[in-house]
């Protein structure tokens, strides 16, 4: 099974890129990465400062960013499927995942009811939505599911129930049988959910997780040792972990956790020389063939995305 088939394509505008047919895990397309300003918090978007909507709405720059997202996800044709009930959600900036009410693990569903074929390889995306008050969040997994409808199942774990309701609505509208969202705190539910899945766990992604900047709030960050251990233990041999953030401090934090299990996880550049990394070992291009919504916004603002891709090995 091909797990990471990457190739380089010349830099060109996003609008002119044709997505190639997907591979089991990653699409073999690298997208144009705009020039970036390397710094801890290089731009307004990357600072995660709460830009007031009045500022954002008067700024053409900010208006263009959602349009770019819509363009990148045009294939899903979700604009037609927008409804007032599920489209526009007003949601608080950050959830505290350590709240008692959020510490109850989710029950595993009957996977045969959830997926058309529950034996297919599984990708789990942790924190799969985005709290923007725009229609269209959660589309990353839907896009992948549509592309790989007979070869892979996709599970999104998202702590905000309203976002999951909206994502599930769209999944039904699209008629996809290989993608499912569960409203839960991944920190407490990941193990129970994936350990009951009948097929192999082949890919786990944690993309632009909430940064929880204050040091005293770092324990709220989703990547903690128990989750990392659970990912590593449940991943099939050859399975991969894809992490990224536009916040260097968050990316370094995640990297430290995943680098800490070198007997089980190797960074892909050591086993796949075709994967281009920068001098600090950050994967240069998104290997999925589609960027997440936050990634699109952040790159539009000129932020660097710090990525790592690990592969499970047997020593
Ligand atoms: C900044 S958004 C990133 C969304 C998406 N991955 C992207 O890159 O566009 C982070 C998401 O993770 C969710 N989240 C935060 N903590 C979580 C947890 N412990 N379990 C599951 N989801 C979580 C948030 O509700 C939010 O939707």
The per-residue pLDDT for 81 is: 56
> What is the β-pairing status of strands 153-158 and 179-183?
parallel
236 CA to middle of ligand 1, Å?
Answer: 24
> What DSSP state is assigned to residue 247?
S
Mean pLDDT over 247-270 rounds to 96
> Of 34, 54, 120, whose CA–CA distance to 302 is shortest?
34
> 241 or 160: whose pLDDT is higher?
241
The per-residue pLDDT for 51 is: 34
Of 102-111, 162-171, 237-246, which gets the smallest average pLDDT? 162-171
Q: What whole-number percentage of the chain has pLDDT above 70?
A: 72
What are 35-70's pLDDT values in tens digits? 443 333 334 444 444 333 333 444 555 567 777 888
Which atom of ligand 1 sits closest to the CA of residue 244?
Answer: 8
> 180 or 36: whose pLDDT is higher?
180
210 annotated active-site: yes
How sure is the predictor about 315, in pLDDT bands with cuts at 50, 70 and 90?
A: low
Q: How far is it, in rounded angstroms, from Cα 235 to Cα 98?
A: 25
User: What is the chain's mean pLDDT, rounded?
Assistant: 79
Name the phi and psi angles at 241, rounded to 5: -125, 130
What are 271-306's pLDDT values in tens digits? 887 779 999 999 999 999 999 988 998 999 999 999
The per-residue pLDDT for 137 is: 60
Helix (H) or strand (E) holding 147: helix 139-147
The answer to whether the Cα torsion of 216, 221, 226, 228 is positive or negative is negative
Helices 139-147 and 161-174, interaxial angle, to 10°?
30
Ligand 1 pocket mutation pick from 130, 181, 218 by most atoms within 8 angstroms of CB: 130
The per-residue pLDDT for 75 is: 82
- Does the structure show a pLDDT above 50 at 19? no
128 CA to middle of ligand 1, Å?
Answer: 6
What are 82-139's pLDDT values in tens digits? 554 555 555 556 789 999 999 999 999 999 999 999 999 999 999 987 555 444 467 8
Which atom of ligand 1 sits closest to the CA of residue 163?
Answer: 27
185 CA to middle of ligand 1, Å?
Answer: 10
Q: What whole-number percentage of the chain has pLDDT above 90?
A: 57
Q: Which residues line ligand 1 (CB under 6 A)?
A: 95, 97, 126-131, 157-160, 163, 185-187, 207-210, 222, 292-295
> What is the β-pairing status of strands 179-183 and 201-207?
unpaired
Mean pLDDT over 15-19 rounds to 30
Q: Which of 75, 80, 85, 210 is catalytic?
A: 210
Of 44-58, 88-102, 218-232, 239-253, which gets the smallest average pLDDT? 44-58
Of all protein residues, the one whose alpha carbon is nearest to atom 14 of ligand 1 is 127
The per-residue pLDDT for 89 is: 52
The per-residue pLDDT for 28 is: 39
Q: How far is it, in rounded angstroms, from Cα 13 to Cα 252?
A: 29
Q: What's the CATH number of domain 14-312, 3.30.70.270, 3.40.50.150, 3.40.50.12780, 3.20.20.70?
A: 3.40.50.150
The per-residue pLDDT for 130 is: 59
Residues facing residue 180 across a β-bridge: 155
């Amino acid at each position: 099974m091909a797990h990471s088939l990457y190739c380089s394509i010349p830099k060109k505008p996003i609008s002119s890129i044709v997505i190639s047919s997907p591979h089991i895990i990653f699409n073999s397309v690298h997208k144009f990465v705009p020039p970036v300003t390397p710094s801890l918090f290089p731009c307004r978007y990357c600072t995660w400062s709460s830009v007031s909507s009045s500022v954002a709405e008067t700024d053409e720059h900010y208006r263009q960013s959602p349009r770019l997202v819509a363009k990148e996800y045009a294939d899903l044709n979700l604009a037609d499927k927008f409804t007032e009930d599920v489209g526009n959600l007003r949601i608080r900036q950050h959830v505290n995942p350590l709240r008692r009410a959020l510490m109850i693990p989710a029950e595993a569903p009957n996977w045969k009811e959830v997926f058309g074929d529950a034996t297919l390889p599984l990708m789990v995306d942790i924190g799969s939505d985005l709290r923007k008050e725009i229609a269209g969040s959660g589309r990353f997994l839907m896009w992948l599911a549509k592309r790989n409808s007979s070869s892979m199942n996709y599970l999104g774990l998202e702590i905000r129930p309203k976002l999951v309701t909206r994502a599930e609505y769209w999944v039904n509208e699209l008629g996809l049988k290989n993608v499912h969202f569960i409203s839960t705190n991944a920190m407490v539910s990941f193990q129970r959910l994936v350990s009951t899945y009948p097929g192999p766990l082949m890919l786990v992604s944690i993309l632009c997780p909430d940064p929880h900047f204050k040091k005293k709030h770092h324990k709220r960050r989703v990547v903690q040792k128990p989750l990392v251990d659970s990912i590593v233990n449940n991943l099939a041999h050859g399975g991969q972990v894809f992490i990224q953030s536009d916040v260097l401090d968050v990316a370094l934090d995640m990297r430290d956790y995943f680098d800490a299990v070198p007997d089980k996880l190797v960074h892909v550049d050591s086993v796949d020389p075709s994967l281009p990394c920068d001098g600090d070992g950050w994967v240069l291009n998104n290997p999925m063939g589609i960027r997440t919504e936050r990634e699109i916004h952040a790159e539009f603002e000129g932020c660097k995305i710090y990525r790592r891709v690990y592969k499970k090995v047997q020593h």
